[in-house]
Amino acid sequence: MRERLIEILGKTSDPEAVAWLQQTVDEQGKSFQQRPFYYAFSGVSRRFDKKATTDAGVGQLTFLSKTAPGFTVAGWDEFRLARVILLTVLAEQEKDIFLENLKALIGTADLREQVAIFSAFPLLPHPAALVEFATDGLRSNIIDIFDSISLNNPFASENFTDEAWNQMVLKAIFITRPLYRIVGHGERTNLALAEAISDLAHERWAAGRTITPEAWRSCTNFLDERISGDIAKMAGSSEANDRSAAALVVSTAEGKLDSLKDRLSKEIAAIESGELTWHSLGQTVEEQLIRKSLT
């Protein structure tokens, strides 16, 4: 894994910086030294380009995802990837040394360093011991830190309790993050989350506000009378995204919401053709939010 990450970093980075990183990895791999490791971890910012985005190919991304399911470096900057590479060396140390140094790093890390640390969690050992670090990180009001844990990162899906998972998803809804990029969003459904989303929707509707249509994905398997009514409300919405979400729920409802199919015939046809999926809906919602923020 580390060799492939260095290969990806080398496609865009200064060869001297990559050589320095490789030498540091080799030296620390042979004999881990706490202070030099810390210096190297912070020293990444002096050697790599903070504005440069890495350029992983399809084959490289596929390899990473197969090795660590759900893990990706797509869209990462050089700082982030270089620090994750260093953390793979820390991961090879004894458990006590690993956890002691990881805790110290998190406690002193700046924004970009924290993003790298949390991004590395799928590659690190002792995941049960890392859950508390991750849940603490999710309390941050800094979007980049929240995103590094919740988006395009399989750690939460694989290791969080339902309670921690639900808190993360609900916060993502509150702060308008793209739910389709939460790994496991379609699989980690549970009744408590579905009920919380319905409650939140009713609160917002009463206040004349809306809820992201992506949220209803977590309710698909829990279509009681109330949630079925919520989906019917979405099906009658004037907003195309709401109707798309309703159709996606209806399409897997096993007959429970067949009465809505005529109303959603256009959206159902788009699902059957493969044009409409939860992923495509999420992309549409995210693109609209980005455009709105720029106006």
For the stretch 184-198, pLDDT in tens is 999 999 999 999 999
Residue 292 has pLDDT above 90, yes or no: no
User: Does residue 55 belong to any structural domain of this protein?
Assistant: yes
Query: Is the CB of residue 8 less than 8 Å from the CB of residue 56?
Result: yes
Same domain assignment for residues 105 and 172: no
- Same-domain check for residues 205 and 83: no
Q: Are 9 and 54 in contact (CB under 8 A)?
A: yes
Q: Is residue 119 located within the same domain as residue 222?
A: no
Instruction: Say whether pLDDT at 167 is over 80.
Output: yes
pLDDT band at 54 (very low <50, low <70, confident <90, very high): very high
Domain-ending residue, one of 91, 108, 139? 139
Domain with 223, as residue range(s), is 161-295
Task: Phi first, then psi: give them for residue 54, nearest 5 degrees.
Answer: -70, 160
**Distance of alpha carbon 250 from alpha carbon 193, whole angstroms:** 19
pLDDT over 80 at 42, yes or no: yes
Residues 76 and 175 in one domain: no
96 and 192 share one domain: no
Both 243 and 172 in one domain: the answer is yes
What total of structural domains would you count in the chain?
A: 2
Structure tokens at 81: 């990837």
Q: Are residues 40 and 99 in the same domain?
A: yes
In this prediction, residues 66-89 reach a mean pLDDT of: 95
Model-wide pTM > 0.85: yes
For residues 278 and 214, is the Cβ–Cβ distance under 8 A? Answer: yes
